[in-house]
Structures are given as C-alpha cells and as structure tokens.
Amino acid sequence: MATKARTQVLVVEDDAALREALVDSLEIAGYAVHAATDAEAALVFLASQVPGLVLSDVQMPGMDGHDLLRAIKRRHPGLPVVLMTAYGQIDKAVAAMRDGAADYLPKPFEPDRLLATVARYFREPGRASDDQLVLDDPKSQALLDIVRRVAATDATVLLTGESGVGKEMFAKYLHSHSARRDGPFVAVNCAAIPENLVEATLFGHEKGAYTGAVGAQPGKFEQAQHGTLLLDEISEIPLNVQAKLLRALQERCIERVGGRAGIPLDIRVIAASNRDLATWVREGRFRDDLFYRLNVFPVDIPPLRQRKRDILPLARHFLQAHASLVGRAGFTFTEAASVELTHYDWPGNIRELSNVVQRAMILASGAVIDVAQLLLPARQGPAQQVSAPDADAGAASGQIRDMEKQMILDTLERLGGSRKRTADALGISERTLRYKLQRYRETEGREMDETDGDGHL
C-alpha cells in the first residue's frame, strides 16, 4: 500500500468483488479512491467533491454508465470519465466517447491496462488539462470524431476558423491523442515574430550568423523533435520564408541560419489560420505549393454562434478554470444569465466567453451570476423597443460604466495595486487598464474641482 495517496479516483461499480479489486489496484498504485455502488451515489459524491477521474461501469441498475456520463458532462464538462464495458457493448462505448468519455476499457482487462489508462487521463483536481475540449453541440461532436481519427495518424493538419474558436486547443488535442504524445508540443505564433527574425526563430541559427547571434540557438522545428509543431497564424509568414518552410516540410530536414549541415526532422506539423488561405493564394500572398502541402487534412472549426450547445458547458468550465485567479469558487449562473449567454452571438468566440465569465465572477457580490454581471451588449430583437428614449439608453450606458469602474477598482485593490495582475484578471491589456485609470482620475479631478474637495484614485 502506498504511504501517501496522490489524489482521488471515483470508482462506480455495482459488482462488489470487481469494485474491491479496482479499489485495491488503484490504491496500491498510489491513488486515493472513493467507491460508489451506483450512479446515484456517484452524483451525490460529485456534488461536494470533484476527483481527478471517474471510472464507471456501463451496465448498472437504475441510471447506467451512459446516463451518468451525460450527467457528469453537464455539471463538470472537463472531468475525465473512463467507462468499463463488455465486449458486446463496444459500439455503445464508441458512441459514449462521442458524448465526451475519455476512453473505455473492455472487460476483462489486466491491472496493468487499468493503471495505464487511468494514468493517461487522470487530471489533478482543480487543474485544467492543456488538451481539454469542452464540446456538447452535435456539430462539435461530429468534428471531434473526425479530429480523433486524424490524431491517430501522422498527417499534416490545417486548422482554420475565426479568431478565438480554439484552434490551439484542437492542436493540443491532436498531439495528446497521437503516437507523439510523449514528445514536446511546441506552438509558435507566426504573426508575433518580427519579420527579420522569422527564419532564425523557426530554423535556429549558428553563432555569428547575424549581428547579435552570440551563440548557437535551436529553432522551433528542432525544439519539436519527436513531437508536434503548431504554426499558428501561418498566413503571416513572409513569402521568402515560405519557400524555405516548404522545403523543410518536403525534405523533413532543415538548416540553421548560418549553418551548413542539414538537421533531419521527426515531427508532425499542424498549421492554423483565421484567414481564407485559398483566397490568399489567388491574390499571390501565399504560395500555392505550400498551401497544398499544409492542406493535407483540413479541419474548419465553426464559430461559437454556430454551435450554441457548447456555450453553457464552456461557461461552466470557465467558472472552474478561473476560480483560483478570482480567489473564489462555487459560482453558478441564474436561468436568465444562462439564456443571455446562449443567445449572444459571441463575435470573439471562446476567448470572449472566457473574458466575460471571468469579469462576471469578479463583479458578482456572491456566488450567483445574473444578467447584470455579464455586461453583454444589448441584443437587438423584435421584442425590444428600438425607439426607446435616448435618456433611458444613456442612463443604462452610465450604469454599465459605473459597474465597470467599480469592478476595476475593486480588483485593483484586491490584487494589491498590481496593474499587471489586474489586467490579467479582467482579461484586458495593461494599456487599456492604464487608459481607464487615467480617465477615472481626470473625471474625479473635475468632480472634486466642482465641489472644492480633495480626492484620489
């Protein structure tokens, strides 16, 4: 028996003998285990604690494993669930994976396989996984089925979609579900690299290759050896470097800037872009041969407004993910807030949703988030009074500005006056924060001048 259990696995099994064997195997491996005799008992446990993984039988009296899986994903979308099933139920197990199951174990199985599966999917409670995908919409589930299939290959994948749809998350999922999962995952934002440093950043450089190259430095391709390289915003690579990138992909070999020896590559490349690359090719802004080399397996990720059923599971996921940053946990949405979240169009996609949830958590006085804390732009619909008086619109706008100001000042005070941490917590840039604080100072200064008083922010 291990002297110190790491964290918790929830085992749900109605067969007493098998349940005892599972608990013994996991405890010997160092896990703390909570055992439940049925799905209903498991949900009672999950109402008070969130383990690192749920291991559940499928065939159980009352609520079965599939129903339990769906209930867990509604409440804890990021919690890994592994199902145990008989060989005759494999088709249902595959369907369960589409519903969000991490994996399934066909019975009977050896303890070694059990422990390997648990170790693969186990997640420290309270910590989000890098490859976590929270998907509930049928469109997203169909997309995940495709991504899961290509993940098992070494094919080059081109991820496209609007900014903020989660392209990097899909790339991480592809990596962690591939044969290269034990190798590095290296992501590079091509748009963030100065144009004169793109080649050296991607391919590395030798000492003295250019002014300032005081030592040899491996590039992103080398850093990703035996793993996966994500080239995000691939459209922003200059045309002259595109030719060298094409050669690297074709020959699976690179040369450092200033180097002479070729360096063989053993990597998988995933490219991502929010541009229409086919249009860029026609306009001469992107090489057609490079486009066809990257477009081996295209995956277009729909915007959040086209997969409405993902919105609430994602929002609940962000309630958990931001708890440590905000300093409070246990948040829930009112029914009205849930409706408002679902009907908003989310032009900034998942990134915008994350920021809205984080701000709402900071703004909420308690653990319940209502419409007022979301601060979403008003929706234009037929039921709304479009001809509302300007005075009412101005009053509402003023209330929102006052709420925003109070939220910013409260967060700044809670974080000890640190502008960087405050900007991170609010999901805005430090520059925006400085501008708003300066505006508050100027406004308060004018108010104090009018009343002959003193004040400060």
The CATH number of residue 315's host domain is 1.10.8.60
**Contact by Cβ (8 Å): 148, 286:** no
**Structural domain that includes position 424:** 306-381+388-447
Q: What is the pTM of this model?
A: 0.60
Check whether 419 has a pLDDT greater than 90. no
pLDDT value, residue 406:
77
Lowest mean pLDDT among 317-326, 357-366, 383-392: 383-392
Looking at per-residue confidence, does 328 or 146 come out higher? 146
pLDDT value, residue 330:
85
Check whether 1 has a pLDDT greater than 60. no
Check whether 179 has a pLDDT greater than 60. yes
Strand partners, 157: 270, 297
Is there a single domain that holds both residue 216 and residue 277? yes
Amino acid at 140: S
Lowest mean pLDDT among 44-53, 190-199, 213-222, 374-383: 374-383
Query: How long a stretch of residues is the chain?
Result: 457
Check whether 298 has a pLDDT greater than 80. yes
Q: How confident is the model at residue 94 (pLDDT cuts 50, 70, 90)?
A: low
Looking at per-residue confidence, does 387 or 256 come out higher? 256
* Last-in-domain residue among 63, 91, 121: 121
Is there a single domain that holds both residue 152 and residue 117? no
* Last-in-domain residue among 300, 324, 342: 300
Note the pLDDT tens digit of each residue in 134-160: 888 889 988 988 998 999 899 999 999
Is there a single domain that holds both residue 29 and residue 67? yes
Is there a single domain that holds both residue 176 and residue 288? yes
* Last-in-domain residue among 282, 300, 318: 300
Residue 321 lies in a domain: yes
Residue 456 lies in a domain: no
Check whether 168 has a pLDDT greater than 50. yes
Q: How confident is the model at residue 99 (pLDDT cuts 50, 70, 90)?
A: low
Q: How confident is the model at residue 130 (pLDDT cuts 50, 70, 90)?
A: very low
Check whether 389 has a pLDDT greater than 80. no
Check whether 197 has a pLDDT greater than 80. yes
Is there a single domain that holds both residue 344 and residue 415? yes
Is there a single domain that holds both residue 336 and residue 286? no
Check whether 280 has a pLDDT greater than 90. yes
Residue 2 lies in a domain: no
Lowest mean pLDDT among 15-24, 314-323, 364-373, 386-395: 386-395
Residue 345 lies in a domain: yes
pLDDT value, residue 267:
95
Is there a single domain that holds both residue 333 and residue 293? no
Lowest mean pLDDT among 70-84, 119-133, 316-330, 390-404: 390-404
Average pLDDT over residues 248-269: 91
Give how many domains the chain has, as a whole number: 3
Is there a single domain that holds both residue 223 and residue 315? no
Amino acid at 411: T
Residue 127 lies in a domain: no
Is there a single domain that holds both residue 346 and residue 232? no
